[in-house]
Amino acid sequence: MFNKCIVTGLTGVLLLCITISTPLAAPVSTAAEQVPAIVEAAAKLHVQRWADGAGLVEPNFSLNVVRGSRALAPCGRAVTVEAADTRQPARMRFIAVCAGADGWRYEFIVRAQVSARIAVMANDVGAGKILADEDVLLERHDISAIADSIADPKEAVGLSGKRALRGGEVLRSALLASPTMVKRGEPVRIVARREQIEVSMAGEALDSGARGSAVRVKNANGTVIRARVTGAATVEPLDMPAAISPPTE
């Protein structure tokens, strides 16, 4: 067994560091014809772990191991497998290693065809329009060459398209952005909650921001506070006071 850090870009910002072990390389010696199967098993383990980590819905995949022109040789010990490049499942590189002074290294190309139920557009939506539940559905698609597909439709709902989106189009993270919920100079509602108490007051946004971003807000008392955008024209204070009190008259 050995440790290998694999960085894969199939889901955009995803970094996956896994340990690849080859328990099926248990025999003391390895025949030449066994090596491709050992490489395929290591690649299958990588893809399965990646699919589980990415939260893919009903993933299916098949692998094609492509050997080079150099003839394979037997190994007097167990063969291990190193992942050299797994950024794109459609073309990954794995290296079979026969350790020792008389050993060898042999590179394989492994092509994976991966499909899963992913988020797609249910209908046409204009650029900048916020996506609702009815705008997104799950469909099975080949994602072998899609680096930033979206597994959960909830991750897309509430975002907006950077351009017009067409019905049936596969949703990708690069196509979406967080819409501006609070605009500078416009009125906002400041909502402060503590346990069972909720107090709201009017304010004015001093910055523009999307949901979850921090902005400056001037409250009804004229005090400038830092607040988090929670919805359209709505914010919550980032620094809650010890006691919540309404604005003075």
**CA 38 centroid distance within chain:** 29
pLDDT above 90 for 179 = no
Work out the widest C-alpha separation in the chain, in whole angstroms. 88
Q: Which amino acid is at 71?
A: A
Sign of CA dihedral 122, 124, 128, 132: negative
Q: Are residues 203 and 154 in the same domain?
A: no
In a domain, 51, yes or no: yes
Residue 227 lies in a domain: yes
Residues 64 and 158 reside in one and the same domain: yes
* Same domain, yes or no: 6 and 129: yes
Is residue 39 assigned to a domain?
yes
Residue 129 tokens, joined: 């329009």
Cβ neighbours of residue 148 closer than 8 Å, sequence gap 6 or more: 11, 12, 172, 173, 174
Instruction: Read off the tokens for 18.
Output: 């896994």
pLDDT score of 215 more than 70: yes
Domain, as residue range, for 222: 180-237
Domain presence at residue 161: yes
- CA 99: distance to chain centroid? 36
Q: Is 56 exposed, middle or buried (0-12, 13-18, 19+ CB in 10 A)?
A: buried
Query: Could you tell me if residue 189 is inside a domain?
Result: yes
Locate 212 and state its tokens: 């979850």
DSSP H or E segment with residue 45: helix 35-54
13 or 78, which is more confident: 78
**Average confidence (pLDDT) over 146-167:** 92
Domain match, 195 and 127 both: no
Say if residue 36 is in the same domain as residue 104: yes
pLDDT, one tens digit per residue, over 41-100 is: 999 999 999 899 888 999 999 999 999 889 999 999 999 999 999 988 999 999 999 999
Encoding tokens for residue 215? 């902005």
Residue 37 lies in a domain: yes
Mark which of 139, 159, 177 sits at the end of a domain: 177
Identify whether the C-beta of residue 118 lies closer than 8 Å to the C-beta of residue 171.
yes
Domain identity same for 168 and 202: no
The domain tally of the chain equals 2
